Structure 1
Amino acid sequence: MPGWMLAYVRHVERLNRIVGRFAMYLLFVMMGILLWSSISKTFFVPAHWTLLMAQFTMTAYFILGGPYSLQLGSNVRMDLLYGAWSPRTKAWADALTVATLIFYLGVLLYGGISSATYAIQYGEESRGLWRAPMWPIKTIMCLGVLLMILQAVALLIRDIATLRGETLPDSHAMQEAR
C-alpha cells in the first residue's frame, strides 16, 4: 500500500480513538445531569433544562463514539454465513458494505450540514420551556458523521489491503504497545 494510505489509516484511527475515549465519559456527564434532575425535582424547583441536556449529551455520546466503535469492530454483524468465509471473501463483503455505508453517510452529512447551517443562520431553538439553541448539537452531529466517513474510508483501505494480500498493522494494538 502507498505510504499516504497507511498514514491516513493511522491518523484517522488515532483521531477516532481520542474522540471515542472522550465520548465514553459523556455517559457520566449524562448520569450527572439526570441525577441533578432527580434531586432538583425532589428538593428544589425542577430544572427545565435537564432532560433536553441529557438528550443532547446522549446524542453526542452516540454520534462521537460511533467511529471508535466501528474501528474496534464492535458493530453487530449477521454471522449466519460470514463466520465461515475466508478472509478474502470477508474483505470483499466488507468492502461492498463499507462503500454503501460511505454513500449513505455522505447523504447524511449533506443533510446534516444543511440543517446545521439553517440552525445557525436562523437561530433555531428547541421546543419547550428551555428554548435551547440547536446549532451546537447539530454541529456535533455533523462532526460525528464526518468522523464516521473518515473511519469508513480507513476500513475500506484495510479491506483493499486484505484483497491485495497485504496486512496493515492494527493501529489500536500499536497504540497499546506504546
Structure 2
Amino acid sequence: MPQLDFTLPHWAYWLGLIVFPIIAATLARRPKPKERRYFLALGYFILVTGGILGLHRLYLKSLIGLLYIPVFICILFANSQGHDARSVVSDMSNLVRQAERTLERETERVASAEKELPAMRQKLTEAEDGSFAKRRAERDVKRAEQRIEQGTSRIQEAEASLETARPAEEKALDDLRFWNNVGKYAFWLLLAGVLIDAVLLPGLVRKSNRNLPPDPELSEAEKKLKAIEDAERKDDASHVSTGWTGWIDRLSLMCGEFVSYWAVIAVIVYYFEVMSRYVFGSPTNWAHEAMYLMFGMQYLIAGSYAMLTEAHVRVDIFYAPLSRRRKAVVDLLTSVFFFIFAGTLLVTSWVFAFDAIAVPSGNALVSDWARGEIGFVEMLGNWNLSQWSDPNIRWGEISFNEWEVPLWPMKWVMVLGGLLLVLQGISKFAQDIRALMGRA
C-alpha cells in the first residue's frame, strides 16, 4: 500500500480554525433553493473526502457506489492480514537473531572449554590428594564440563529454533508481500474509479437533477405538525436583548456560531486519521492533539453562547415556575458565585497566557517583553516581518508531543473565553436589573 507522510503545518492549523468557519457561515447564510436539487460543488467535496467509499455516487443515488464498498473492505482486510504477517515477521526475525547470537556465543564457549578440559584433567591427576590444588582442579573441571553440557544444550535449542523460525519468517514475508500487493492493487482500482468519476461527475449531477421526482405534497396533518414545530423552534437571535446589552449578546451569539463549525473540522480530520491509519498504515502524529486542543478552545469560547441561550444544565424544579421578576431576584442573588468563577477564570487564564509567552525557550520580541527584559515601546520599535516569518523564532510554549504545536494561542483563547463569559454575565446582570425594575 502507498504510504502517507503528511504533517499538518502549524500555520495551516490556526489559519483553518479561522478561515473555515467564515466560509461555512457564508455558505450557511445563502438563500435556500426553492426546489430540491443536487450540487456539483458538494459532489466534488464528497468525492475528495469520501470518494474511495463511493459516497459521491451514493449522494447522487447511484447504486454503482455500492461497488466501492467491497473493494474498500478488501483493502481493510488486506491491511489487517498484512499487519498480522508483519508481526510474525518481526517475531521470527527476533527469534532468528537471538538463535544466531546464541550459536555464535555458545559455540565459542564450548570450543574453548573443550580445548582447556584436557589440561584441567591433567592437573587434577597430578594434584596431591586432599590438597587445595586438588580441590581447585576438581572445581575447574566440573565448571568446564557444565559449560560444555549447558552450551551444547543451548546450541541444540538454537539450531531447533532456527529450523522452525527461518521457514516461518520466509512464509510470513511471502504473506506480507501478497497482502501488500492485494491492498495496493485494490487501492489503485478505487483510485481509478475516483478519477473516472471526477470527470463524469458534472454529467452525473445533471442526470440526477433531471431524474429528481417532484417534492411530495404535505398532508393537512403534516402541515399542522410543521407549523407547530416552527412555532416551538426558538431562533438564537431571539435571545438578543435590547439596549446597550444587545451588542454583548450579539458578540456571544457570533462567537458561538463561529466555533460551532469547528465540529465539521473534527469530522474531516478524524476521517483523515482513520483513513491514514487503517487504509494507508500511516497514523498521524498531529490529528488527535489538534482536535483536543480545538475542542478545549471551542468549549471556552462557547461558554458565553451557552449562557446567552440558557443551554447550561440547571435544576428547574423551583426556578422554572417563578415569574420573570422572581427569576431576576434569584439570578441576582446567585450572580455573585458566577462572577467569582468567571473572574477567577479570566485572571487565571491571563496568568497562563503570559506564562506561555514568557517561557525561557521563547526568543521573540514579545517573549522578551513578557519576561520583562524589554519595554513595550522598545518591543514595538524593533518589530519587523521576521518576527512572523522566521521559522527559528519561537514565541513561547509548545507542546511536548512530536508535532510541537505552539500552545500560546490556545492560552490566549482561554483569556478570550473568560472575557466573553464575564461580558455575558454583565449583560445578564443588567437584564435582571431591568426585569426587577419592570422595564423588561
Which residue number in structure 2 is paired with residue 134 of structure 1?
407
1:116 equivalent to 2:357? Answer no
Aligned-partner Cα distance in 1 for 2:319–2:352:
37
The residue matched to 1:75 in structure 2 has which SS? coil
Which residue number in structure 1 is paired with residue 432 of structure 2?
159
What's the Cα RMSD here?
Answer: 1.6
Give 1:16 shift: 1.2
Which residue number in structure 2 is paired with residue 11 of structure 1?
247
Which residue number in structure 2 is paired with residue 27 of structure 1?
263
Within 5 Å, give how 1:23-172 maps onto structure 2: 23-42=259-278, 43-122=280-359, 123-167=396-440
* Residues 27-61 of structure 1 deviation map (CA, whole Å, 9 limit, x = unaligned): 11122121111112121421101101000111122
* Residues 70-99 of structure 1 deviation map (CA, whole Å, 9 limit, x = unaligned): 111112211121123232221111112233
Aligned-partner Cα distance in 2 for 1:24–1:133:
23
TM-score by length of 2: 0.36
Aligned-partner Cα distance in 2 for 1:52–1:45:
16
* Residues 113-142 of structure 1 deviation map (CA, whole Å, 9 limit, x = unaligned): 111111111122222222221101111111
- Supply the AA of the counterpart residue of 1:46: P
- Supply the AA of the counterpart residue of 1:78: V
Aligned-partner Cα distance in 2 for 1:94–1:58:
29
Which residue number in structure 2 is paired with residue 173 of structure 1?
none
Structure whose CA Rg is larger: 2
Aligned length in residues: 163
The residue matched to 1:129 in structure 2 has which SS? coil
- Supply the AA of the counterpart residue of 2:248: V
The residue matched to 1:82 in structure 2 has which SS? coil
The residue matched to 1:53 in structure 2 has which SS? helix
- Supply the AA of the counterpart residue of 1:34: Y
* Residues 121-170 of structure 1 deviation map (CA, whole Å, 9 limit, x = unaligned): 11222222222211011111110111011011100101111111111xxx
Aligned-partner Cα distance in 2 for 1:36–1:120:
32
Contact kept, 8 Å, 1:71 with 1:151, in 2: the verdict is yes
Contact kept, 8 Å, 1:29 with 1:57, in 2: the verdict is no
Unaligned runs of 5+ in 1: 168-178
Contact kept, 8 Å, 1:115 with 1:138, in 2: the verdict is yes
Give 1:7 shift: 4.0
Aligned-partner Cα distance in 2 for 1:146–1:86:
30
Aligned-partner Cα distance in 2 for 1:63–1:45:
32
Aligned-partner Cα distance in 2 for 1:143–1:84:
35
Aligned-partner Cα distance in 1 for 2:414–2:265:
18
Aligned-partner Cα distance in 1 for 2:335–2:287:
37
Aligned-partner Cα distance in 2 for 1:44–1:137:
31
Which residue number in structure 2 is paired with residue 170 of structure 1?
none
Aligned-partner Cα distance in 1 for 2:311–2:274:
33
Which residue number in structure 1 is paired with residue 151 of structure 2?
none
The residue matched to 1:76 in structure 2 has which SS? coil
Aligned-partner Cα distance in 1 for 2:337–2:263:
30
TM-score by length of 1: 0.85
- RCO higher in structure (CA 8 A, sep ≥6): 1
